[in-house]
Structures are given as C-alpha cells and as structure tokens.
Copies of this chain bind each other. A is one copy, B any other.
Amino acid sequence: MYRIGELAQLCEVRTDTLRFYEKHGLLSPSSRTDSGYRIYTEADAERLRFILRAKAVGFTLAEIAELLSIELDKSNWACADVKGLVDDKLANVEAKIAELNHFQLSLQRLSQACCGGPESAEHCSILEALESSTENIRCENHSHTHDDAQFTKTCQDKSAVKNTQEK
C-alpha cells in the first residue's frame, strides 16, 4: 500500500505524473483513505511498471492505454492483435528513423562543406547551400551524380579577415 508520493518515489516519476495518468485512464488507485488520499496497491504498482516499460520501448500513452485494455482482457484478444500493435509502432519508429537519417546526412554534408574557421561567413558554403540548392540538401532525387563539388568547396577567404564577432 502506497500513498501517491511513495509510489512516485518508488517508480521514479512525479506525483503529478501519477495524477495525470489517472486523469487519462491509465492508472487509478485501488482505493482512497477516509480523507481522500489515494492508496495504491502492489498491483497498481505493477500496472505502473507496465506503463513505464511500454513507454521505454516507445509507445505513446494512447497506445499504452490500448495495450492495457488488452492486458486486462487477454483471453479475448489474439497474439496477432498484440503483435499488430508492436509492428505498427515499429513501422512508425522506422519511418521516423528514416527521416532523421535524412536530416543527419544533409547536416553532415553541410558540415563537411564548411571550413568552420574564424573567417567571415560571407562565403560560407552552408549559407550558400541554404540560399540556393534544394536538390543537394534534400537527397530525395537520388541522382547519384556524385556532384558533391558544392559540398567539398570550403569558405573562400581563408586569408585573414579579422572580423570581430559579437554573438
């Protein structure tokens, strides 16, 4: 039997988070004291751990609510249903990874093209790329032309410019 603060400490969440989960139907205390304090049982704690584990593999709270409803009524669901949720999530995660990989590649190319020195940014390859090239930033049309000339070219005036930079 835990009071809200105890359960929170045990599972390393905030009390606010527990109330938030309650409001959203994920976890309600099994009972209340006469004065209205929430009382959580060990089973409640287990349910919370289930939620946290599901969060740890990337499920949103809405998805976790679905998992919990299956969990409470397992015999009326098939493995296929559960696996479906996991596979949908997996596809979802993989799509996000693909997008981020695209960002990563573009950023790497931009970074490599820039000397990164104390020279004036007037001829900075990064800014130039953002000013004009779309194809070379988004690598969506895989043209395979290997024309990364634009990206290996660095800042033109490496010769001292001695600009005072105020940031």
Interface residues of A (CB under 8 A from B): 46, 49-50, 53-54, 56-58, 67, 70-71, 74-84, 86-87, 89-90, 93-94, 96-97, 100-101, 103-104, 106-108, 110-111, 114-122, 124, 126-127, 129-131, 133-134, 137-138, 155, 163-167
**What is the bound-complex CA distance between A90 and B46, given in angstroms?**
38
- Contact among B81, B96, B110, B122 with A75 in the assembled complex (CB-CB below 8 Å): B122
Least distance between A61 CB and chain B CB atoms (Å): 14
Give how many copies assemble into the complex: 2
**Across the interface, do B118 and A80 meet the contact criterion of CB distance under 8 Å?**
yes
**Across the interface, do B111 and A87 meet the contact criterion of CB distance under 8 Å?**
yes
**What is the bound-complex CA distance between A107 and B55, given in angstroms?**
11
Complex contacts, A86 vs chain B, CB 8 Å: 107, 110-111, 114, 126
Complex contacts, A57 vs chain B, CB 8 Å: 103, 106-107, 110, 137-138
| Selected A-B contacts with CB under 8 Å, 14 pairs | A50-B130, A53-B130, A57-B138, A75-B121, A76-B165, A76-B166, A77-B163, A78-B118, A79-B119, A79-B124, A79-B126, A82-B126, A86-B111, A93-B100
**Across the interface, do A82 and B121 meet the contact criterion of CB distance under 8 Å?**
yes
